[in-house]
Amino acid sequence: MQEQQSFTDDEKRITLIALMIVFSLSALDQTIVSTAMPRIVAELKGLNLYAWVTTGYLLTSTVMVPIWGKLSDSHGRKLILLAGIAIFLLGSWLSGLSTSMVQLIVFRAIQGIGGGALFTTAFAIIADLFEPKERARFGGLFGSVFGLASLIGPVVGGFFTEHGTVHLLGQTIAGWRWVFYVNLPLSGLALFMIVVKMPRLAHNEGAPIDYLGAALIVLTFVPLLLALSWAGQTYPWGSPIIIGLLAFSAVGLAAFLYIETKVREPIMPLELFANRTFATCNSAAFIVSMAFMGVVTFLPLFMQVGLGTAATASGLAMVPMMVGMIGASTVSGLLVSKTGVYKPIMLGGGLLLAFAVFLMTFIGPQTTLFGLGWRMFVVGLGLGPSQSLFSLAVQNAVPPHRMGVATSSGMFFRQIGQTMGVALFGALLTHNLNAELIKRAPADPSGVHQTINVTQLQAMALSRAAAGAHASADARSPAMIKATSDSFAAAMRNLFLVALAGLGVAIVIILLIPVVPMRARAVPAAVAAEG
């Protein structure tokens, strides 16, 4: 494999702009669609399939991340990025044409296949083009792009949904369809810039493809993600279908680990786990993602059902967190670029995030939007450094010919952590909420205690939004409304405490991350794993 490549400033600049477009597309897609979903369901029907629009994308994008990473190592970043953008573009176009919920779910799954290549290949290309110190600055910039795209996604989605309906050549194009069509010109621009200006980066030519390993990744993690998505909502945790999916996933994982020790070029080289930086960074990122997503996912729900906040206002309450994350991500990237030191900044971010979650334990039914907002700003400040520094540390510690698969593995573990966090914290929220309701809810003449799960909470939030969030539209008695609000606040405090414990473990793991000096971009291919 070619070890030394030089790139012109023009190649670097145009490629970087194209990657920022690609990165923003992937980040935007995670938030823009959710705003349009009520209108989509109203037109396409199929309320029972509501969650599958997100789940379908999540399944395919997650399982494809390590596969795309390995393919980029063996077939080149440029080819894989172009393929990912093309598939993402096709899925976006088809999603906009959907005439039923089933079609939309299938086309979103196609979109997710391409989306899995966008994040991982973009970060791997940055690692190929720039030395680690320079890379830290751009990693912080990309973290800011992610935060900004996530911030404007709901606004753009809401605008198109409410005002985007057009009449063209006798045909009516519903506004929600532009949520998907907006990807087309941006994807086309990125494709053009990459084809014309992005250099062909060196790769491990002729390496065989581990087809069996790729298939086993799908067979292992699709059942796992389905089980985590359904458990506690569609099916009870102890139901045969959930246990069966988890058992199938465990068998698939055992087979995957066995195969990866036998093939010449494994899809996920197990030798990487012997690298302390790779193992500790990914472990810490997994726990941080699980704790963070497990808590933040249910905050808008708590605000709407527990605090009686309107849906729009609950969405705006996330803005301070994104602002804090954008600022912290940018500043941390600049500091690492200037000093070449990343571990103290990672540790400081973890400690600040833990402190922010501790502050969240003090919220209650009387908490104002301002009181929640400034706490969320601190959460964003603590989260910012983790957006790029874990990946930077891993990239700095692995040999260049493993850059793609190492980068994708980190993102893969984060996405699995996010999914597990939402599922496990959702189950914990349901348990705690019902335990609190037993103590606080007014006595039922039948002696049967009312129970609530996350799906019912979401339905309550949707009904409030449909009724304009007026208290008079709530069919529950005032005593039951108060009991639910108080119980929800107590259940959320318990979630924060569990998340705080998880972050404590993550901080200990961060302390174990080896200090590896920033290296130059061109290094020998065989780099020994540090002890």
pLDDT at 327 > cutoff 90: no
pLDDT tier for residue 281 given thresholds of 50, 70 and 90: very high
Q: Who has greater pLDDT, 175 or 17?
A: 17
pLDDT of residue 454: 63
pLDDT of residue 276: 92
| Cα dist from 87 to 47, 117, 480, 492, whole Å | 27, 10, 49, 39
CA–CA separation, 243 and 180 (whole Å) = 36
pLDDT tier for residue 460 given thresholds of 50, 70 and 90: low
pLDDT of residue 523: 43
**What secondary structure letter does DSSP report for 529?**
P
CA–CA separation, 524 and 531 (whole Å) = 18
User: How many CB atoms are located within 10 Å of the residue 190 CB?
Assistant: 27
Q: Residue with structure tokens 């990125």?
A: 190
pLDDT of residue 254: 95
pLDDT at 473 > cutoff 60: no
- Name every residue whose Cβ is closer than 8 Å to that of residue 301 and which is 6 or more positions away in sequence: 454, 457, 458, 461
CA–CA separation, 39 and 330 (whole Å) = 36
CA angle 436, 296, 180 (to 5 degrees): 130
pLDDT at 65 > cutoff 50: yes
pLDDT of residue 446: 52
What are 6-56's pLDDT values in tens digits?
Answer: 677 777 888 888 888 887 877 777 777 777 777 787 788 776 677 788 778
Angle in degrees, 0-180, between the axes of helices 276-296 and 369-383, rounded to the nearest 10: 170
- Name every residue whose Cβ is closer than 8 Å to that of residue 208 and which is 6 or more positions away in sequence: 263, 264, 265
| Tokens found for residue 220 | 């292992």
Q: Who has greater pLDDT, 39 or 284?
A: 284
| Tokens found for residue 431 | 């348990």
pLDDT at 504 > cutoff 80: yes
Q: Who has greater pLDDT, 211 or 257?
A: 257
pLDDT tier for residue 463 given thresholds of 50, 70 and 90: low
pLDDT at 59 > cutoff 80: yes
What are 80-123's pLDDT values in tens digits?
Answer: 889 999 999 999 999 988 888 899 999 999 999 998 888 788 88
- Single out the residue of 138, 133, 144 nearest to residue 123, CA to CA: 138
Mean pLDDT over 271-289 rounds to 92
Per cent of the chain over pLDDT 70 is 83
Q: Please state the φ and ψ torsions of residue 171, each to the nearest 5 degrees.
A: -110, 145
Q: For the chain, what is the mean pLDDT?
A: 80
Q: Who has greater pLDDT, 273 or 126?
A: 273
pLDDT at 430 > cutoff 60: yes
Mean pLDDT over 349-364 rounds to 92
- Outline where DSSP puts E strands in 195-308: none
b/e sequence 361-395, b meaning 16+ C-beta within 10 Å: bebbbebeeeebbebbbbbbbbbbbbbbbbbbbbb
pLDDT at 464 > cutoff 60: no
- Name every residue whose Cβ is closer than 8 Å to that of residue 235 and which is 6 or more positions away in sequence: 241, 242
| Tokens found for residue 19 | 């990657």
CA–CA separation, 24 and 33 (whole Å) = 14
pLDDT of residue 134: 74
3-class SS letters over 489-522: HHHHHHHHHHHHHHHHHHHHHHHCCCCCCCCCCC
CA–CA separation, 405 and 71 (whole Å) = 8
Query: Are the beta carbons of 403 and 132 closer than 8 angstroms?
Result: no
Q: Who has greater pLDDT, 280 or 443?
A: 280
- The region of weakest confidence among 91-105, 138-152, 388-402 is 138-152
- The region of weakest confidence among 83-87, 134-138, 340-344, 408-412 is 134-138
Q: Who has greater pLDDT, 321 or 378?
A: 378
pLDDT at 521 > cutoff 60: no
Q: Who has greater pLDDT, 481 or 100?
A: 100
pLDDT of residue 364: 81
Q: Who has greater pLDDT, 194 or 253?
A: 253
User: Percent helix, strand, coil in the chain (nearest 5)?
Assistant: 75, 0, 20
pLDDT of residue 356: 93
pLDDT of residue 2: 41
The amino acid that residue 315 corresponds to is G
| Cα dist from 330 to 390, 406, 407, whole Å | 15, 23, 20
- Name every residue whose Cβ is closer than 8 Å to that of residue 435 and which is 6 or more positions away in sequence: none
Query: Are the beta carbons of 387 and 346 closer than 8 angstroms?
Result: no
pLDDT of residue 458: 61
Mean pLDDT over 337-348 rounds to 87
> CB burial class (10 A; 0-12, 13-18, 19+) of residue 439?
exposed
How many residues would you count in the chain? 531
pLDDT of residue 524: 39
pLDDT at 445 > cutoff 60: no
pLDDT of residue 111: 92
pLDDT of residue 249: 93
Query: Are the beta carbons of 432 and 494 closer than 8 angstroms?
Result: yes
What are 195-239's pLDDT values in tens digits?
Answer: 887 877 665 565 677 889 889 988 998 898 888 878 877 788 889
